[in-house]
Amino acid sequence: MASNTKPGENILWGGRFTGTCNTLYSLFIIAALTPFMVAYNESIHFDKKLYKQDILEDEFNKIEKGLQAVMKEWDNDSFVIVPGVDEDIHTANERRLGEIIGKDVAGKLHTGRSRNEQVACDMLAADRAESEVDHVMPGYTHLQRAQPIQRLREVVKRVNKSALGCGVLAGNPFNIDRDMMAAELGFEGLLWNSMGGVADRDFVAETLQWASMLMQHVSRWAEDLIIYSTAEFGFVRLADAYSTAWRLRGKSGRVFGQMAGFMMTLKGLPSTYNKDLQESWEAMLDTVKTVSDSMQIATGVLATLAIKPEKMQAALDPFMLATDIADYLVRKGVPFCETHHISGRVVALSEQTDTPMNELTYDQLKSVDARFEKDIAESFDYERSVEMRSAKGGTSKECVLEQIKVLRQILNA
């Protein structure tokens, strides 16, 4: 839709420039309105994604109809952004609303609220693990996806508080019902201090911090796959469609950078609202998109990769059972402080005689320590070794299935 509004007219801070100005101040005004400065100051090109959040806060009849018309323009991509006028999503919506229903009515849009507070407002892994629970590989670690999910829920519960009604910074003079608005919009409470409310971006900072933690897990998981898919290991093979999944590891750096950059923006700001806070949207929207895209890629990688159990089995080494020898001795009553020393001597004997540890004779083992009995042979069994780790969170089949059950409960909660 076309607009007759000129750059600089009705600009958010344009009222400040009316009346008599000295020459230096006039030069500042001209500089501020140059295309570069206007473009640099605008946030409309990234926070336009928040158009629904900005519009749906108002439900008065005439304004609501006008806002729905504006939203329809956003939806069908016919909304025309006016450079120099539409500084951000809020001014863009209000400007267009005024063109549709008239400025007198549209001007009431912000009665009872301020633009500052608006800104402050806005199971595949388990299945795969279960189907392949019988396979053993050396050094395998299970990605506990439940932990990042639990952290996200904690973040949402902590930061889902409403700033609506805080006014510009000192509160609202129209006796509006903040509790009602918060409940209607799905918030779980209020930001009680108005000065803190308009300045609050903890919800952005914590979201970025959570995303960084999640992407750290994803990056390490991707690194495992990178290693395990190399010719040296060959434990897994990625589908051709996801052969470039290594980008997951690289994308984590992007998310870390957004979080660190925004924290640097926050650290030097004085109390209440500052325009620097508009930096929050670009960081958060980019991070949300990056994380969302990354999780889709990770899901695709996990769904389509092929494991090679025979390669995993071939990579198992008897030396990995050295701790099982120590555990065996502990069960025979040998003090724990001695068992690892004895186990080390068995490893040394294996190396000296060039005999795999599981092929040492009973007499050879007795020569290391007389407390070995013939049932020591049972300790040289990879499957048994895994099954012995039967405490909650361990690697036995029962424990893994229990972890899968817990994970599904968390995902379905």
pLDDT tens sequence across 258-288: 999 988 988 878 777 777 777 888 888 899 8
283 and 406 inside one domain: no
pLDDT at 33: 47
Contacts of 289 by beta carbon, 8 Å cutoff, 6+ apart: none
Note every long-range contact of 390-394, with CB atoms under 8 Å and residues 24 or more positions apart, other chains counting.
none
Helix, strand, coil % in the chain, rounded to nearest 5: 65, 0, 35
147 and 293 inside one domain: yes
194 and 206 inside one domain: yes
Convert the pLDDT of each residue in 202-241 to its tens digit. Answer: 778 888 988 998 899 889 888 888 888 999 899 989 888 7
162 and 261 inside one domain: yes
pLDDT surpasses 60 at 122? no
Percent of the chain predicted with pLDDT > 90: 19
Q: Residue 170 is encoded by which pair of tokens?
A: 């000192």
Convert the pLDDT of each residue in 3-52 to its tens digit. Answer: 555 555 555 445 554 544 444 444 444 444 445 445 545 566 656 666 66
Q: Is 4 inside a domain boundary?
A: no
**Mean pLDDT in residue range 311-328:** 90
243 and 166 inside one domain: yes
The answer to whether 259 and 212 are in contact (CB under 8 A) is yes
pLDDT at 49: 62
Q: How confident is the model at residue 344 (pLDDT cuts 50, 70, 90)?
A: very high
257 and 165 inside one domain: yes
pLDDT surpasses 80 at 108? no
167 and 247 inside one domain: yes
pLDDT at 390: 83
307 and 327 inside one domain: no
| Residue written as token pair 């607009």 | 3
Q: How confident is the model at residue 118 (pLDDT cuts 50, 70, 90)?
A: very low
Instruction: Give the chain's domain count.
Output: 3
* CB count in 10 Å sphere of residue 54: 25
The answer to whether 256 and 215 are in contact (CB under 8 A) is yes
pLDDT at 395: 80
Convert the pLDDT of each residue in 378-407 to its tens digit. Answer: 999 989 988 888 888 888 888 888 887 887
Q: Is 212 inside a domain boundary?
A: yes
Domain interval for residue 346 = 316-412
Mean pLDDT taken over the chain? 75
33 and 150 inside one domain: no
pLDDT surpasses 50 at 121? no
**Mean pLDDT in residue range 232-252:** 83
193 and 291 inside one domain: yes
| Residue written as token pair 């889709």 | 296
Q: How confident is the model at residue 408 (pLDDT cuts 50, 70, 90)?
A: confident
